[in-house]
Amino acid sequence: MMTPDLPRRHAAVAAVLFALALGPGAPAQAGPDRLSVLLGSHHVNAARDFKEVNPGLFLTWEGAAWAGRLDLGAGVFRNSYGDGSAVGSVALPMLAGDAWSVDAFAALAWYPGNGEQFDHAAGDIVPLAGVQARYGNVFMQALPGGGQGADALVTFGLSFALD
């Protein structure tokens, strides 16, 4: 059973972690480096029906935190319950080539009215984590199942560098 102030504690912890991620020596950022367009998702071994057409827009500031080692992102999307959601993310680049990359990522997503669908939410704020890969302009994310309806989630879309 959650105490009434637990979501506030989670928000405070998230704010502290975000401030630590920015850390000393973070480069100044004039604007985002990448625009990503979420197209859809697939719920692996889904125990119920989900909306798998999930349009969304995300902006990424590459190397914007922790002395240039972390990417920060923000976006909005239609979630798998058919409602609008917003998300803030941080990604750690793991491997990269000229036209590809693989990152670990963590995020806090707002699922208004749907937080109870997840085993690990603070109200309607849901922590997410997984691996993302990009090849050319195509991206994919894989997340372990964190709710009561699927073993894993795979999302996909298009990503464009903003020069």
Token readout for 81 is: 């319950």
* Torsion, CA 109, CA 56, CA 152, CA 154, rounded to 10: -140
Beta bridge partners, 74, equal: 59, 88
Whether residue 73 contacts residue 88, with contact meaning beta carbons closer than 8 Å, is answered with yes
Secondary structure class of 66 (helix, strand, coil): coil
End-to-end Cα, the chain, rounded Å: 48
> pTM here?
0.81
How high is the pLDDT of residue 19? Answer: 52
6-24+31-161 is a CATH 2.40.128.120 domain: yes
- Give me the residues of the chain with pLDDT under 70, please: 1-29, 146-147
